[in-house]
């Protein structure tokens, strides 16, 4: 499929351009975005603006008129998008195909457009780059070429060395004693120089191999770092529903997990078959709820439920969960992440066997 500067209109004359994509019969290296008309025969998004933002990253196909609905449906066995829905078709089979629904009655939906752009960007960021398109890859390729050339030269020189030694041995057999001595000295000198040269080849080969190994290791570290960043980008699936406030995460994903936990707890109190319940459940289901807060609460309970005093092991475990512990007379002061807003006290020598459960309850309510 040829990449165009803008969107390609789909009509009865070029219908196969779309149907081949939907039916899996087309070859394309970039994602294909198909925009169907809504019930008012309007585009569900600002196609020109979206095409401009996706230029060079995706093919954009847009239905020109509702009159092609029946033809498209028949040719695609009803697998096509319609009523303003937008289809995303990815070259990578693992990425598959996504359909984004148009939720309005009329007019362009900017949130829908941003969702399309976000998914295409995520896909682009997730693709592996050919090493020869990176400076590191080019450098490694040049080093490998030099190493291969050095290896070839060394092999030819070793062959020449063996042949020369064989010829010298034959010549030496035909000479008198004095000439033989001189020839032997010359032979030893030549062999010594040849060995020095071969050793220099070995050293250069080792140096090149070490350089390639170091660069490959650096490349792997960078790739791992990029994978981590890519996962963060992919976790940001969709257009933000809420604007972030001033609070910072105490650990990666903390605030998001707290919000999802509050929603999941509230969900049980919402009546079934209501819009409110469906909306809240949809948010929870589509935001990768990892239950990090509940896992931390479980760890705190495990550590403190039988608390009888602050051992070195317990202090280490609590510090690993971002608790800072200071001494204050007969008590310890415990600060969550060093924040004075989240502070509680623990007796150094609790007399009540229920002290552990009480501390667990206080800490989890305060910090989690």
Residue 54 pLDDT > 80 = yes
User: Model confidence at 198, in pLDDT bands (50, 70, 90)?
Assistant: low
* Mean per-residue pLDDT, 329-345: 92
Cβ 99 vs Cβ 87: under 8 Å:
yes
* Mean per-residue pLDDT, 212-224: 69
Q: How far is CA 225 from the centre of its chain?
A: 8
Buried/exposed code over 84-109 (b: 16+ C-beta within 10 A; e: otherwise): bbbbbbbeeeebebeebebeeeeebb
More confident residue, 186 or 354: 354
For the segment 219-275, what is each residue's pLDDT rounded down to a tens digit? 666 666 665 555 555 555 555 677 677 788 888 889 999 999 999 999 999 999 999
More confident residue, 90 or 135: 90
Q: How high is the pLDDT of residue 225?
A: 60
Residue 92 pLDDT > 90 = no
Q: How high is the pLDDT of residue 139?
A: 63
* Mean per-residue pLDDT, 56-63: 93
More confident residue, 335 or 191: 335
Q: What is the signed CA dihedral for 260, 264, 265, 271, rounded to 10 degrees?
A: 140
For the segment 345-360, what is each residue's pLDDT rounded down to a tens digit? 999 998 887 888 999 9
3-state secondary structure of 189: helix
Q: How high is the pLDDT of residue 5?
A: 80
Q: How far is CA 257 from the centre of its chain?
A: 20
Cβ 112 vs Cβ 45: under 8 Å:
yes
Residue 148 pLDDT > 80 = no
- Per-residue DSSP letter, 290: -
Q: How high is the pLDDT of residue 277?
A: 95
Q: How high is the pLDDT of residue 143?
A: 66
Q: Name which of 337, 142, 123, 152 is nearest 230 in CA terms.
A: 123
Residue 132 pLDDT > 60 = no
Q: How high is the pLDDT of residue 224?
A: 61
Count Cβ atoms below 10 Å from residue 113 Cβ, excluding itself: 23
User: Model confidence at 38, in pLDDT bands (50, 70, 90)?
Assistant: very high
User: Model confidence at 103, in pLDDT bands (50, 70, 90)?
Assistant: confident
User: Which uninterrupted H or E stretch holds 128?
Assistant: none
* Mean per-residue pLDDT, 279-307: 92
* Mean per-residue pLDDT, 296-315: 93
Residue 153 pLDDT > 70 = no
Which residues 6+ apart lie within 8 Å of 196 measured at CB? none
- Mean pLDDT lowest for which of 61-65, 118-122, 272-276, 316-320? 118-122
* Mean per-residue pLDDT, 17-44: 93
Q: Name which of 342, 302, 306, 329 is nearest 318 in CA terms.
A: 302
User: Model confidence at 181, in pLDDT bands (50, 70, 90)?
Assistant: low
**In degrees rounded to 5, what are phi and psi of residue 40?**
-90, 10
Q: How high is the pLDDT of residue 345?
A: 93
User: Model confidence at 10, in pLDDT bands (50, 70, 90)?
Assistant: very high
Q: How high is the pLDDT of residue 26?
A: 85
Q: Name which of 308, 318, 314 is nearest 357 in CA terms.
A: 308
Q: How high is the pLDDT of residue 307?
A: 92
């Amino acid at each position: 499929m040829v990449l165009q500067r803008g969107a390609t209109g789909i009509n009865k004359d070029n219908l196969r351009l779309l149907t081949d994509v939907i039916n899996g019969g087309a070859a394309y290296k970039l994602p294909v975005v198909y925009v169907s008309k809504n019930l008012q025969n309007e585009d569900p998004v600002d196609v020109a603006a979206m095409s401009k933002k996706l230029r060079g990253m995706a093919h954009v196909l847009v239905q020109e008129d509702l009159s092609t609905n029946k033809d498209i449906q028949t040719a695609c066995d009803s697998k096509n998008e319609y009523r303003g829905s937008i289809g995303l078709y990815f070259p990578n089979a693992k990425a598959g195909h996504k359909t984004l629904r148009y939720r309005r009655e009329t007019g362009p939906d900017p949130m829908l457009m941003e969702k399309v752009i976000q998914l295409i960007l995520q896909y682009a960021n997730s693709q592996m780059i050919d090493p020869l398109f990176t400076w590191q890859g080019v450098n490694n390729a040049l080093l490998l070429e030099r190493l291969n050339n050095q290896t070839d030269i060394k092999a030819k020189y070793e062959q020449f060395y063996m042949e020369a030694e064989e010829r010298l041995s034959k010549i030496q057999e035909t000479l008198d004693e004095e000439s033989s001595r001189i020839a032997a000295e010359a032979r030893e000198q030549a062999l010594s120089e040849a060995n020095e040269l071969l050793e220099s080849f070995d050293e250069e080969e080792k140096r090149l191999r070490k350089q390639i190994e170091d660069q490959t290791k650096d490349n792997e570290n960078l790739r791992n770092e990029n994978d981590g960043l890519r996962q963060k980008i992919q976790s940001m699936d969709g257009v933000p529903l809420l604007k972030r406030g001033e609070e910072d995460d105490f650990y990666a994903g903390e605030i998001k997990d707290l919000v999802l936990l509050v929603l999941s707890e509230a969900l049980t109190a919402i009546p079934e078959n209501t819009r409110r319940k469906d909306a809240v459940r949809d948010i929870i289901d589509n935001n990768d709820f990892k239950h990090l807060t509940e896992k931390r609460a479980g760890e705190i309970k495990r550590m403190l439920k039988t608390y009888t005093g602050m051992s070195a092991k317990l202090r280490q475990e609590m510090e690993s969960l971002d608790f800072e512990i200071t001494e204050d007379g007969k008590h310890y002061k415990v600060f969550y992440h060093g924040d004075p807003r989240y502070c509680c006290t623990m007796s150094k020598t609790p007399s009540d066997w229920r002290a552990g459960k009480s501390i667990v309850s206080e800490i989890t309510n305060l910090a989690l």
